[in-house]
Chains A and B, each alone.
Chain A
Amino acid sequence: MKIISNFLGYIKGRWHIKYALILPTFIFLLVLVFFPLLYSFKLSFYSWNLLRPKLGLKFIGLDNYLYLFSDPQISNALFLTFYFTIGAVGLELLFGMALALLLNQDLKGGRLYKSFLLIPLMTAPVVAGFTWNYLLHLEFGPIPQILKFLGFTSLASRPILASKELVMPAIILVDVWQTTPFVMLVILAGLQAIPIEPYEAAKVDGASSTQIFFKITLPMLKPAILVALLIRTIHAIRFFDVAFVMTGGGPGTASELLPLYNYSVCFVDFNLGYGSAISFLVLGVSAIFSFLYIIFLRR
């Protein structure tokens, strides 16, 4: 016993409390990041199909990565992810900015509107997916009715989620509905951090409101816009839940975004070697924006 208490005393003397506090998180993250990542990195050089256990684990070098370049599904998925990211993030920035400018004019009940607008952001993506499936349903959903009322009769009579051209805009619409509030919050925070002096000076100099917007507000908002843009892009690249529930990647592969294709290679075909290689492609694409964000934070 004495040895143990001596030992503890020794550790106590040596080990400052600051290391003890951080140790659990450090070990936890170390184990759950490096071990799994090394494991799937190793797998990405193997061919391994769980549905064909007899073939076993076979080392094939760079073949999985080389196949990424010739796999037509990959170019389709990359294109769709690109399309989705540009479309969704662009619209979200536009609408989020407009909403933030509107709510920044201290309207009565502004806090209440803000609270209401947060609700889509808090909705589970899975729930958002089925809700919009229902809304868009050709017979039982209200949106075809609204479209008919507005005069878009040809659009109202097409099953939107079964159409190759309309499925991606529909998915983008759902994401815009769900995450514009996030962009709004970030830009609103940016707006509220702008000091009042430049506005007063501009008014004294007789600047028009357009001039004030482009010469003062927009430049001062640059950091907030950049934060919203980078975070939204990082999340658009990993976007999975809503599309999975709404379409499962279909019709055909018309909405099979990169993470959805990755999922189906891994957990439908159980082709885990190739699936790991795809996941490193996803990681690579996402990492570009993560590093930009970190550079921004350290600035």
Chain B
Amino acid sequence: MGKFYHLKRFINYIIVIIIVFAALFPIYWIFQSSFKPPIEHLTSPPLWFPKHITGENYISLFKNSDIVETLLNSIIITSLSVFIAMLIGTPAAYSIARFNVGGINFPLFILLVRMTPPIVFVIPFFLIAKKLGLQDSYISIILTEVFFIIPLAVWMMIGFFYDLPTSLEEAAMVDGCSRWQAMVKIVLPLTSPGLAATAILCSILVWNDFLFPLILTGSRTRTLPVLVNSFVTQRGLDYGLMCATGVIMTIPMAIFGVAVQKYLVQGLTSGAMKG
């Protein structure tokens, strides 16, 4: 330990704390703003803390049938598309991890899909949905979101299946289980933390996704990001309502993100790095 060890450590703490404050400041700003009455949004210089704390922004949010409907849309679209992606993606990941089906090329093809900019797909998806009369339908947006997250789901689950020793399934199969039974009774329960982490990360992606819903949904099926965008372009912006919506959108995802932080690196780098 050097002479300045304690001083250096102290300075490190100060720097980290300042950075954490700076990083959280924008979130703090919409959080405190969501408890301000309308008049306090339009003061210059702005108030750093509400003078009168009020819940009226949240009350009007949940009274606004447009917002409530959109919130429900977001919940429906996120949960269904994550469910479908996990349902078809998990077996595929198992097949790739255990039997090496498709060699190296199929997983790499999946990765390439994940790396393709969404704008490339959104144009034909829009036209196909229009041709099939599926504009503003749950089917088109859910299928698109499944498509959007399935590469992530498959790649993450491949990693979890790789990490699971094969000896357990083999033992079960020696004892007379079929491959299906071994999968359902042994493999899935043992990878349940991985399944949960994958589903959560996929949910964050769908919940926050903007471009696909912007093009493919309409007034009936739009999701929260599309609604927030329409707030911004409106004249006579209601800051309180918008901040409350932002808070409602952010809190569940922040909790999700912290819950899966152990797996974030593995998920976001497609297995190149482990956290």
Cβ of A189 and Cβ of B275 under 8 Å apart?
yes
Tell me the residues in window 96-137 of chain A with beta carbons closer than 8 Å to chain B beta carbons.
Answer: 99, 102-103, 105, 107, 113-135
Residues A142 and B46 in contact in the complex (CB < 8 Å), given A122-B204, A186-B273: yes
- Hey, what's the 0/1 contact readout for A1-45 against B, CB within 8 Å counting as 1? 000000000000000111111101110110011011101100100
- CB-CB < 8 A to B127: which residues of A? 39-40, 43, 272
A124-B249 contact given A29-B147, A145-B46, A283-B117, CB 8 Å threshold: yes
Asked if B265 lies at the interface with its beta carbon under 8 angstroms from chain A, I say yes
Identify the closest chain B residue to A99 (Cβ).
B19
Q: Is the CB of A134 within 8 A of B124?
A: no
Residues in chain A near residue B13, CB distance under 8 A: 107
Name the interface residues of B168-188: CB closer than 8 Å to any CB of A.
179-180
* Complex CA–CA separation, A298 to B271 (angstroms): 12
A227 to B110, CA, bound (A): 18
A contact residues around B268 at 8 Å (CB): 182, 185-186, 231
Does A83 sit within 8 A of B, measured CB to CB?
no
Complex-state Cα separation, A149 to B108, whole angstroms = 52
Known A-B contacts A127-B250, A134-B33, A142-B46; A283 and B120 likewise in contact (beta carbons under 8 Å): yes
Nearest CB of chain A from residue B49's CB, rounded to whole Å: 11
Task: Compute how far the CA of A280 lies from the CA of B256 in the bound complex, rounded to whole angstroms.
Answer: 35
Question: Which residues on the B side are within 8 Å of A99 (C-beta)?
Answer: 19
Residues of A within 8 Å of B23, CB to CB, are: 116-117, 119-120, 177, 181
Cβ B211 vs Cβ A241 within 8 A? yes
**Would you call A28 and B272 a contact (CB within 8 A)?**
no
| A25 touching B150, Cβ below 8 Å | yes
Q: Indicate if the CB atoms of B253 and A124 lie closer than 8 Å.
A: yes
CB distance from A277 to the nearest CB of B (A): 10
The answer to whether B108 touches A28, judged by C-beta atoms less than 8 angstroms apart, is no
Given A25-B150, A32-B147, A133-B232, are A127 and B24 neighbors across the interface (CB < 8 Å)?
no
SS class of chain A's interface: helix, strand, loop or mixed?
A: helix
Q: Counting CB contacts under 8 A, is B15 at the interface?
A: yes
Report the Cα distance A37→B20, complex, angstroms: 43
Q: Are A283 and B116 in contact (CB under 8 A)?
A: yes
With contacts defined as CB atoms under 8 Å apart, how many contacts are there between chain A and chain B in the complex? Answer: 271
The reply to whether B128 and A130 form a contact with Cβ atoms under 8 Å apart is no
Task: Give Cα A287 to B117, complex, Å.
Answer: 9
Residues from chain A with a CB closer than 8 A to the CB of B111 are 290, 293-294, 297
Interface residues on A, range: 35 or more
**Which of chain B's residues have a CB closer than 8 A to the CB of A272?**
123, 127
Known interface pairs A103-B16, A142-B29, A240-B119; A130-B242 also in contact (CB < 8 Å): yes
**CB <8 Å contact, A241 and B210:** yes
Please tell me if A202 contacts chain B, counting CB pairs below 8 Å. no
Could you tell me if A132 and B26 are in contact, using CB atoms closer than 8 angstroms? yes
Q: Which residue from chain A places its CB closest to the CB of B19 in the assembled complex?
A: A99
* B27 pairs with A238, CB closer than 8 A: no
What is the predominant secondary structure among interface residues of chain B facing chain A? helix
Enumerate B111-131 residues with CB–CB distance to A below 8 Å: 111-113, 115-121, 123-128
- CA of A298 to CA of B44, assembled, Å: 56
Contacts of B179 in A (CB 8 A): 17
- Asked whether, in the complex, the Cβ of A17 is within 8 Å of the Cβ of B180, the reply is yes
* B16 touches which of A113, A122, A263 (Cβ 8 Å): A113
Instruction: Please indicate the chain B residues that have their CB under 8 angstroms from the CB of A16 in the complex.
Output: 99
Task: Check A240–B211 contact: CB distance below 8 A.
Answer: yes
Query: Chain B residues near A223 (CB, 8 Å)?
Result: 272-273
Measured in the bound complex, the distance between the Cα atoms of B127 and A272 in whole Å is: 9
Is B115 within 8 A of A293, CB to CB? yes
Known: A39-B124, A122-B257, A186-B269. A21 touches B211 (CB 8 A): no
The answer to whether A185 and B264 have CB atoms under 8 Å apart is yes
Q: Does B270 contact A (CB under 8 A)?
A: yes
CB-contacts of A241-299 with B (<8 A): 241, 244-245, 248, 259, 262-263, 266-267, 272, 275-276, 279-280, 282-283, 286-287, 289-290, 293-294, 296-298
Contact of A25 among B89, B121, B228, B264 (CB under 8 A): B89
B48 to chain A, nearest CB (A): 7
Q: Are B20 and A130 in contact (CB under 8 A)?
A: no
Q: Once the chains bind, are A28 and B150 in contact (CB under 8 Å)?
A: yes
Contacts of B99 in A (CB 8 A): 16, 18
Residues in B neighbouring A140, C-beta threshold 8 A: 41-44, 46, 239
Q: Least Cβ distance of B205 to chain A in Å?
A: 10
Q: Would you mind naming 10 contact pairs between A and B with Cβ atoms under 8 Å apart?
A: A21-B91, A117-B20, A122-B208, A123-B27, A123-B253, A123-B254, A124-B228, A125-B210, A127-B30, A186-B269
Given contacts A28-B88, A244-B210, A259-B119, 11 further A-B contacts (CB under 8 A): A19-B95, A19-B101, A37-B120, A127-B30, A130-B246, A135-B26, A139-B44, A140-B42, A140-B239, A286-B117, A298-B108
B interface with A by C-beta (< 8 Å):
9, 12-13, 15-17, 19-20, 23-24, 26-27, 29-30, 33, 41-46, 48, 88-89, 91-92, 94-96, 98-99, 101-102, 104, 106, 108-113, 115-121, 123-128, 143, 146-147, 150, 154, 179-180, 204, 207-208, 210-211, 215, 224-225, 228-229, 231-233, 239, 242-243, 246, 249-250, 253-254, 256-258, 261, 264-265, 268-275
A-B pairs, 3 with minimum CB distance: A36-B124, A25-B92, A122-B257
